[in-house]
DNA sequence: CTCGAACGCGCG
DNA sequence: GTACGAGCGTTCGAG
């Protein structure tokens, strides 16, 4: 190694991890000292921003493996006792298509008649060709010239070939459909509603694993005298009794949500401690070795169990698909898991989950607060993800179809109106009415040509300046609003808007703005604008822009929110199970396939899509959300006395802001003035500017304000809550030093741009530094709450299960009072950042009990001494779009 | 024909 | 050129 590489640390962040950590630069760059001394020394040394001075864990060599199958309950109990001794339970499920799923597949195959239909199509193709050849031969018998015969033969041949090709295309479609369905079928083991656990492996310490083959077509299985259902139940019950409910055993699974989801299928809940080395590894790598993550949007990609085991321990694990392929089978349960590669494959995952957990938690301990955050917030939250994915939300298919038809009709009507309007307003080069294709959303190239080339409507806004290439005119909602405004007021440039406020002298119609000596510059401009003729397409243009806004709304609602959701309905549950991941920059959740966190609000949706989300039979939806959550967190983080006072005394922050903006006393603030203050308040948390505020007013509130007015408002907010701008300066200063921004429980977001020489990058990073502690702390607090909800559901479920087994003990009223939450009756099914959705028995006592417990938990101070009151509000509904107050509902229900 | 960029829009 | 975070559907052009 070159000396420059060892000591020249200009650009160095953290060293790269290698399979041989002895070679890692962090260990070798300084004189060898004892680890403790070294740590102390590193703490004392001033480090570069983003450098955590990690001492990479020493990797112990792999030992001879003790992998073996377990086939009896006695062996299982003994092995779990071992886990109790070590305090470690590394585990992994192998799953397969369930019997029902396999039956459904066989039925589908039978109905699809793949081979039969394919043979039929190909026969038809062959017949068509043969027929063509026969008819060409017949031409010989007819009276015609050679040339005629050749032409006729050519025609017949072409027609026959075309018919044959059509049959072959049908055969190809059949192939494609079969392949598609088969791919879907082969993925069913990932879905607990279509799959089943066939094998489990259990690791109490590195290198020692027992594999439990529960249901396999070959080899020994667990308790072979039992039915497979009974064996699986015995296995899960035993795990639950000895391990899952224990608060002393660390349950470790790589990609924990998957294991948790399958546990939920059997009504099992895993109490903390719960570890997932996928989370600990990626979270650590993001901070100490960010170069290892090529795509920050998908930080876990390339960091699965197998690549990590290779990179960290130098061990190449078996490949699942290859093993199946080599054995010529579709699913794992067709292999023997009691010996050979089936056994080894199962065992390895649990073994290396434990080893990776050990390794990365040693790294986490060297990052301030990270071990705590991972152990108490982030890793246990994987259980919540698994649970919410397991349940999903019921989707009202019939109503959805009705709404789909309505949306299609609305979209088509808007499309027809646009076409007709363009025909009337615009002629093509030949003087004929112009035919235009508006597409689904009215944003095709043809439409752009109509608007900007034919009609020459004014351009209000150009495309994204941060993107390379020419800035084309924008047609987003803001642009459409501004274009309409410009037509109304004869503006050629939006910058002229300010002249509309200029007071015109009497008789301005007759004044020549170019020569009159009594005018100032502004008056001249104003008169010039007012004296302009109307745009030749003023009326048609305004109508067209209105239609453009409508068709875009309909297109979005139809494609993304009706059709785009319905297609994800699970074939078994009929529900929509969206996926969640924690991979966001602020530690928030995200949701996908479909995104369950962006369902349109009723006030912005002509079709009421939230009403398509309904509870299951005998159930009701219970919603509870933090009120003003991020602003409360901001009040704490900025330590702003005024904001804290407002939130703690039930005051009205929007009104207070309005007072500062208008200079009027609080009693005289009008409803409009209060509404005006709202976006300004929300904006400050993002480091908002007057420009952004202006856009929000225009697009969300339909109010036009000048930049100066918006600037005044931004300044008013900063004056009213002086702690906030101070906080924003302080947090940036700190981030420039440390290289990161941090949340309440310790998540850290690296901000490489914070010291950039590029002003834009630096400012962006500065706003992120200010926002991350707010948005990220809100996310952390929500995760802590949901972790406790999960634990409570687990506790209630366990208690009721034990009562069933051991005989009744408590009455339902007591149960609801002390353990209000339990599986299958009070289920947590979704999270939308500051809101949790539950599906609960349609019973006022149950709803009240859940409401009371969850509200109380949510309103606890996030940390001791937290100065701001936290409030949560509950509501219920038989559809997402039909919320009512939860306490009132329960009262009425009891009365009825 | 497939894939990705650009654009636009839904949510907190 | 100036608001934070996220996912997805449509359109269009490159490969």
Distance separating alpha carbons of residues A132 and A130, to the nearest angstrom: 5
Q: Is 80 exceeded by the pLDDT of residue A316?
A: yes
State if pTM tops 0.95. Answer: no
pLDDT confidence of A830, banded at 50, 70, 90?
very high
Q: What is the pLDDT of residues A188-223, one digit of tens each?
A: 999 999 999 999 999 999 999 999 999 999 999 999
Q: What is the pLDDT of residues A403-436, one digit of tens each?
A: 999 999 999 999 999 999 999 999 988 999 999 9
Q: Is 80 exceeded by the pLDDT of residue A476?
A: yes
- Sheet of A250-252, strands arranged across: A66-69, A208-213, A195-205, A88-97, A250-252, A274-275
Highest mean predicted confidence (pLDDT) among A48-62, A154-168, A282-296, A334-348: A334-348
Residue A237 CB partners (closer than 8 Å, separation 6+):
none
The predicted structure's pLDDT at residue A429: 87
Q: Which nucleotide is nearest to A590 (CA to C1')?
A: C6
Q: Can you read off the two tokens belonging to residue A188?
A: 């069913």
**Nucleotides, chain B, CB distance < 7 Å:** 5-12
HEC states along A530-594?
HHCCCCCCHHHHHHHHHHHHHHHHHHHHHHHHHHHHHCCECCCCCEECCEEECCCCCCCCEEECC
Distance separating alpha carbons of residues A822 and A828, to the nearest angstrom: 10
Backbone angles phi, psi at A174, to 5 degrees: -60, -45
Residue A842 CB partners (closer than 8 Å, separation 6+):
A615, A618, A619, A620
Distance separating alpha carbons of residues A74 and A79, to the nearest angstrom: 9
The predicted structure's pLDDT at residue A37: 56
Residue A87 region, left (φ>0) first, then alpha (ψ -120 to 50), else beta? left
Distance separating alpha carbons of residues A106 and A109, to the nearest angstrom: 5
The predicted structure's pLDDT at residue A676: 84
The percentage of chain A sitting over the pLDDT mark of 90, rounded to a whole number, equals: 82
Strands A740-742 and A748-750: antiparallel
The predicted structure's pLDDT at residue A472: 86
Q: Is 70 exceeded by the pLDDT of residue A39?
A: no
> Separation of CA A538 and C1' B4 in angstroms?
38
Residue A743 CB partners (closer than 8 Å, separation 6+):
A586, A587, A772, A773, A776, A777, A779, A780
DSSP state string for A99-147: HHHHHHHHHHHHHHTHHHHHHHHHHHHHHHHHHHHHHHHHGGGS---HH
Q: What is the pLDDT of residues A541-554, one digit of tens each?
A: 999 999 999 999 99
Q: Is 50 exceeded by the pLDDT of residue A12?
A: no
Q: Which nucleotide is nearest to A601 (CA to C1')?
A: B11
Partners of A209 in beta bridges = A67
Strands A250-252 and A88-97: parallel
Distance separating alpha carbons of residues A250 and A811, to the nearest angstrom: 33
> Separation of CA A284 and C1' C7 in angstroms?
25
**Nucleotides, chain C, CB distance < 7 Å:** 1-13
The protein residue nearest B5 (Cα–C1') is: A467
The predicted structure's pLDDT at residue A499: 95
The predicted structure's pLDDT at residue A266: 97
Mean pLDDT of A794-822: 88
The predicted structure's pLDDT at residue A346: 97
Report the first-to-last Cα separation within chain A, whole angstroms.
Answer: 81
Give the mean pLDDT of chain A.
91
Distance separating alpha carbons of residues A867 and A376, to the nearest angstrom: 22
Using the 8-state DSSP alphabet, how is residue A192 labeled? T
Distance separating alpha carbons of residues A500 and A475, to the nearest angstrom: 24
With H, G, I as helix, E, B as strand and everything else as coil, classify residue A252. Answer: strand
Partners of A508 in beta bridges = none
Distance separating alpha carbons of residues A857 and A792, to the nearest angstrom: 11
Which among A699, A701, A705 is positioned nearest to A481, based on CA atoms? A699
Distance separating alpha carbons of residues A274 and A271, to the nearest angstrom: 7
Residues A209/A347, Cβ–Cβ less than 8 Å: yes
Angle formed at CA A616 by CA A611 and CA A620, multiple of 5 degrees: 70
Residue A132 CB partners (closer than 8 Å, separation 6+):
A156, A157, A159, A160, A161, A164
Which of A84-88, A652-656, A839-843 is predicted least confidently?
A652-656
The protein residue nearest C6 (Cα–C1') is: A590
Residues A783/A381, Cβ–Cβ less than 8 Å: yes
DSSP state string for A721-781: TTHHHHHHHHHHHHHHHHSEEE-TT--EEE-GGGG-SSHHHHHHHHHHHHHHHHHHHHHHH
> Separation of CA A444 and C1' C13 in angstroms?
14
Burial class (CB in 10 A: 0-12, 13-18, 19+), A738: buried
> Separation of CA A726 and C1' C2 in angstroms?
20
The predicted structure's pLDDT at residue A555: 94
Residue A144 CB partners (closer than 8 Å, separation 6+):
A152
Using the 8-state DSSP alphabet, how is residue A828 labeled? E
Q: Which nucleotide is nearest to A296 (CA to C1')?
A: C6
Q: Which nucleotide is nearest to A758 (CA to C1')?
A: C1
Q: Is 80 exceeded by the pLDDT of residue A242?
A: yes
Distance separating alpha carbons of residues A627 and A630, to the nearest angstrom: 9
> Separation of CA A696 and C1' C10 in angstroms?
25
Q: CA dihedral defined by A406, A412, A415, A416, rounded to 10 degrees?
A: -120
> Separation of CA A679 and C1' C3 in angstroms?
11
Which of A174-178, A346-350, A533-537, A802-806 is predicted least confidently?
A802-806
The predicted structure's pLDDT at residue A551: 95
Higher pLDDT, A661 or A224: A224
With H, G, I as helix, E, B as strand and everything else as coil, classify residue A84. Answer: helix
Residues A621/A847, Cβ–Cβ less than 8 Å: no
Using the 8-state DSSP alphabet, how is residue A892 labeled? H
Higher pLDDT, A677 or A615: A615
Q: Is 90 exceeded by the pLDDT of residue A734?
A: yes
Residues A455/A537, Cβ–Cβ less than 8 Å: yes
Distance separating alpha carbons of residues A59 and A308, to the nearest angstrom: 13
What Rg do the C-alpha atoms of chain A give, in angstroms? 34
> Separation of CA A467 and C1' B4 in angstroms?
15
Q: Is 80 exceeded by the pLDDT of residue A35?
A: no
Mean pLDDT of A796-817: 85
The percentage of chain A sitting over the pLDDT mark of 70, rounded to a whole number, equals: 94
* Cβ count near A83 (within 10 Å): 24
Distance separating alpha carbons of residues A790 and A269, to the nearest angstrom: 8
Q: How many CA atoms lie within 13 A of A365 on its CB side?
A: 10
Q: Is 50 exceeded by the pLDDT of residue A652?
A: yes
> Separation of CA A558 and C1' C7 in angstroms?
16
Which among A264, A385, A359 is positioned nearest to A303, based on CA atoms? A359
Residue A851 CB partners (closer than 8 Å, separation 6+):
A622, A624, A874, A886, A887, A890
Mean pLDDT of A838-842: 98
Q: Which nucleotide is nearest to A465 (CA to C1')?
A: C1
* Cβ count near A82 (within 10 Å): 16
Higher pLDDT, A231 or A684: A231
Q: Enumerate the H helices of A146-276 as residue ranges.
A: 146-186, 228-239, 256-265
Q: Which nucleotide is nearest to A600 (CA to C1')?
A: B10
Cis (ω within 30 of 0) for the bond into A839? Answer: no
């Amino acid at each position: 190694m070159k000396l420059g590489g060892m000591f020249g640390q200009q650009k160095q962040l953290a060293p790269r991890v290698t399979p041989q950590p002895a070679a890692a630069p962090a260990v070798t760059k300084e004189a060898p000292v004892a680890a403790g001394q070294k740590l102390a020394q590193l703490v004392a040394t001033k480090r570069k921003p983003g450098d955590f001075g990690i001492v990479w864990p020493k990797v112990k060599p792999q030992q001879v493996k003790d992998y073996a199958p377990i086939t009896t309950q006695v062996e299982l109990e003994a092995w779990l006792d071992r886990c109790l001794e070590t305090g470690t339970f590394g585990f992994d499920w192998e799953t397969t298509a369930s019997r029902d799923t396999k039956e459904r597949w066989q039925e589908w195959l039978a109905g699809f008649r793949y081979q039969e239909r394919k043979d039929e199509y190909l026969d038809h193709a062959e017949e068509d060709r043969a027929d063509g050849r026969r008819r060409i031969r017949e031409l010989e018998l007819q009276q015609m010239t050679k040339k005629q015969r050749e032409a006729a033969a050519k025609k017949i041949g072409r027609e026959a070939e075309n018919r044959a090709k059509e049959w072959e295309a049908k055969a190809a479609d059949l192939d494609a459909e079969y392949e598609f369905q088969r791919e879907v079928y082969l993925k069913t083991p990932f879905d607990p509603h279509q799959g089943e656990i066939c094998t489990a492996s259990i690791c109490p310490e590195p290198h020692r694993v027992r594999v439990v083959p529960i249901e396999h077509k070959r080899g020994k299985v667990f308790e072979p005298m039992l039915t497979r259902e009974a064996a699986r139940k015995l296995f899960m019950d035993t795990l639950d009794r000895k391990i899952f409910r224990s608060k002393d055993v660390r349950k470790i699974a790589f990609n924990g949500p998957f294991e948790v989801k399958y546990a939920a299928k059997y009504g099992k809940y895993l109490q903390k401690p719960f570890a997932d080395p996928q989370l600990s590894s990626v979270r650590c790598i993001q901070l100490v070795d960010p170069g290892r993550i090529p795509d920050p949007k998908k930080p876990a990609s390339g960091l699965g169990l197998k690549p990590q085991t290779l990179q960290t321990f130098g061990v190449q694990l078996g490949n699942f698909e290859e093993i199946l392929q080599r054995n010529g089978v579709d699913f794992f349960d067709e292999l023997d898991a009691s010996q050979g590669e089936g056994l080894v494959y199962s065992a390895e995952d649990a073994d290396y989950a434990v080893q990776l957990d050990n390794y990365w938690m040693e790294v986490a301990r060297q990052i301030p607060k990270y071990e705590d955050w991972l152990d108490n917030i982030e890793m246990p939250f994987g259980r919540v993800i698994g649970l919410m994915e397991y349940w999903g939300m019921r989707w009202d298919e019939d109503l959805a179809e009705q709404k789909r038809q309505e949306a299609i009709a609305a979209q088509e009507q808007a499309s027809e109106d646009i076409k007709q309007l363009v025909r009337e307003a615009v002629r093509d080069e030949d003087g004929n009415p112009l035919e235009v294709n508006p597409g689904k959303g009215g944003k095709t190239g043809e439409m752009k040509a109509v608007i900007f080339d034919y009609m020459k409507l004014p351009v209000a806004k150009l495309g994204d300046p941060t993107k390379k290439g020419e800035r084309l005119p924008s047609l987003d909602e803001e642009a459409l609003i501004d274009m309409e405004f410009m037509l109304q007021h004869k503006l050629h440039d939006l910058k002229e808007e300010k002249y509309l406020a200029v007071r015109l002298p009497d008789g301005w119609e007759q004044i020549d703005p170019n020569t009159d000596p009594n005018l100032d510059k502004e008056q001249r401009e104003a008169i010039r604008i007012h004296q302009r003729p109307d745009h030749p397409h003023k009326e048609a243009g305004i109508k067209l822009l209105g239609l453009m806004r409508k068709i875009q709304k309909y297109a979005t609602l139809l494609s993304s929110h009706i059709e785009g959701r319905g297609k994800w309905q699970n074939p078994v549950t009929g529900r929509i199970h969206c996926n969640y991941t924690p991979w966001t920059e602020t530690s928030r959740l995200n949701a996908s396939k479909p995104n369950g966190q962006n369902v349109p609000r009723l006030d912005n949706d002509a079709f009421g899509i939230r009403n398509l989300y309904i509870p299951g039979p005998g159930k009701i939806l219970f919603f509870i959300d933090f009120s003003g959550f991020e602003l409360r967190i901001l009040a704490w983080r900025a330590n702003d006395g005024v904001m804290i006072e407002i939130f703690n005394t039930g005051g009205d922050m929007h009104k207070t802001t309005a007072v500062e903006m208008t200079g009027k006393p609080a009693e005289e603030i009008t409803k409009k003035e209060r509404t005006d203050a709202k976006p300004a308040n929300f904006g400050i948390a993002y480091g908002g500017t007057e420009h952004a505020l202006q856009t929000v007013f225009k697009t969300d509130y339909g109010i036009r304000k000048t930049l100066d007015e918006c600037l005044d408002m931004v300044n008013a907010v900063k004056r009213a809550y002086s702690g906030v701008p101070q906080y924003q300066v302080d947090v940036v200063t700190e981030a420039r030093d440390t290289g990161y921004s941090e949340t309440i429980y310790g998540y850290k977001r690296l901000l490489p741009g914070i010291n950039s020489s590029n002003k834009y990058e630096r400012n962006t990073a500065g706003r992120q530094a200010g926002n991350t502690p707010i948005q990220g702390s809100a996310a952390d607090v929500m995760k802590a709450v949901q972790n406790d909800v999960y634990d409570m559901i687990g506790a209630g479920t366990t208690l009721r299960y034990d009562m069933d087994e051991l005989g009744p003990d408590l009455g339902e009223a007591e149960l609801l009072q002390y353990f209000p939450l339990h599986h299958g009756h009070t289920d947590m099914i979704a999270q939308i950042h500051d809101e949790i959705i539950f599906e609960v028995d349609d019973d006022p006592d149950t709803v009240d009990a859940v409401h009371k417990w969850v509200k109380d938990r949510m309103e606890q101070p996030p940390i001791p001494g937290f100065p701001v009151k936290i409030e949560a509000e509950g509501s219920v509904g038989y559809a997402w779009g039909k919320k009512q107050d939860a306490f009132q509902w329960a009262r009425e229900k009891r009365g009825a």
